[in-house]
């Protein structure tokens, strides 16, 4: 079986590719294609070790390009689609790229999958498509109410994927995850940004009153959830993947200060993000009951190990912060 993983040189995609390769023999996977445009957050270094395995090949190109999609997907039995523009702040200042990649790029992949007879398509999305919830948690059938260009572009890609399932009978499975953290996350996202700033003796920018709430999910748990959906999920279904640790941004900042040996003087309050969602929380009962998913990584342990990874891997992140 030939499987294409899009966005596999990025933070989550590269970790999934590592886990997937470890499971390849059990899954009957003989070829893995890493399909990535290598934009600013996709890095060849993230997949260098994987490419030493003869079962792994690399296709460099954009999912927006029909010819490249056809090249990558020809002969494939399955696509696992991580590729996306994903940073909310960037979407606020440059929305067009998000709609082009996330909506049009996903549609291009879906069409290539349909034309080439791909049997299974796992579309990886985000809890941000639901909007903001003051209390309780979203189930998979909740109304989509995205509030940023990023989240609206992901909602559009979700709807495109589900439309291809309903109209053409393509086996599409959608996952929506909580905020991820872990090693190799690009240092524009809050945890690696704060950690690398603190390691450099700099301040950390805390939006607004710091009371925005997020549910935190270790990248390994997210990847295990996606793998479960790939293996045993139902066609045409949506699965929320949660981490089970809700924290305000202020509480998260305090933990990072402690782990980096810094004090409150390093916190710099800044004007709130435009359209900043107050709280995210997914109900992941469905994936737990249907597929046996449970997060395994304790947040305190996972966060400490993540901070330590950035401490030990300055050579990885230092070039990414030049000029930032």
Q: What is the dihedral of CA 162, 163, 167, 171, to 10 degrees?
A: -20
Are 194 and 261 within 8 A, CB to CB? Answer: no
Q: Please enumerate, as own/partner, the contacts of 312-320 that have beta carbons within 8 Å and a separation of 24 or more.
A: 313/183, 314/199, 316/45, 316/184, 317/187, 317/192, 317/196, 320/186, 320/187
Tokens describing residue 34: 């890493």
Residue of 99, 130, 150, 181 marked catalytic: 150
* Active-site residue flag, 127: yes
Are 136 and 281 within 8 A, CB to CB? Answer: yes
* Active-site residue flag, 150: yes
Q: What is the dihedral of CA 98, 102, 107, 112, to 10 degrees?
A: 110
Residue of 36, 128, 140, 220 marked catalytic: 128
Residue of 36, 85, 127, 158 marked catalytic: 127
Are 249 and 269 within 8 A, CB to CB? Answer: no
* Active-site residue flag, 128: yes
Rg (CA), the chain: 19
Tokens describing residue 297: 């990584």
Question: Cα–Cα distance between 187 and 159 in angstroms, integer?
Answer: 30
Side-chain-side CA neighbours of residue 300 (13 Å): 1
Residue 241: its H or E element: strand 238-241
Please name the residue ranges forming H helices in the chain: 11-27, 66-73, 88-93, 96-98, 106-116, 149-168, 190-199, 219-232, 249-259, 285-291, 299-312, 314-317
Of residues 8, 180, 150, 159, the one with CA closest to residue 81: 8
Catalytic site positions: 127-128, 150
């Amino acid at each position: 079986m030939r499987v294409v993983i899009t966005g596999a040189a990025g933070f989550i995609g590269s970790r999934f590719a590592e886990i997937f390769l470890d499971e390849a023999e059990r899954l009957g996977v003989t070829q893995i294609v890493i399909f990535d445009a290598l934009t600013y957050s996709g890095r060849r270094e993230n997949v260098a070790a994987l490419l030493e395995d003869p079962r792994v090949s690399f296709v460099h190109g954009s999912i927006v390009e029909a010819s490249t999609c056809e090249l990558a997907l020809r002969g494939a039995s399955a696509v696992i689609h991580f590729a996306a523009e994903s940073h909310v702040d960037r979407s606020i200042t440059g929305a067009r790229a998000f709609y082009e990649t996330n909506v049009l790029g996903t549609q291009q992949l879906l069409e290539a999958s349909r034309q080439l007879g791909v049997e299974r398509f796992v579309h990886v999305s985000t809890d941000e498509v639901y909007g903001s919830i003051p209390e309780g948690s979203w189930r998979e059938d909740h109304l989509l109410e995205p509030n940023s260009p990023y989240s609206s572009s992901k909602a559009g890609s979700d709807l495109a994927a589900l439309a291809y399932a309903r109209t053409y009978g393509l086996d599409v499975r959608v996952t929506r995850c909580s905020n991820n953290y872990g090693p190799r996350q690009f240092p524009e996202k809050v945890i690696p940004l704060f950690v690398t700033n603190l390691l450099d003796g700099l301040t950390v920018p805390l939006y607004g009153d710091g009371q925005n709430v997020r549910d935190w999910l270790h990248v390994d748990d997210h990847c295990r959830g996606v793998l479960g959906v790939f293996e045993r999920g139902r066609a045409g279904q949506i699965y929320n993947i949660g981490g089970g640790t809700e924290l305000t941004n202020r509480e998260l900042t305090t933990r990072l200060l402690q782990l980096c040996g810094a004090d409150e003087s390093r916190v710099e309050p800044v004007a709130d993000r435009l359209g900043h969602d107050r709280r995210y929380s997914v109900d992941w009962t469905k994936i737990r009951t249907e597929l046996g998913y449970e997060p395994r990584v304790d947040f305190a342990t996972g966060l400490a190990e993540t901070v330590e990874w950035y401490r030990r891997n300055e050579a990885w992140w230092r070039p990414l912060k030049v000029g930032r």
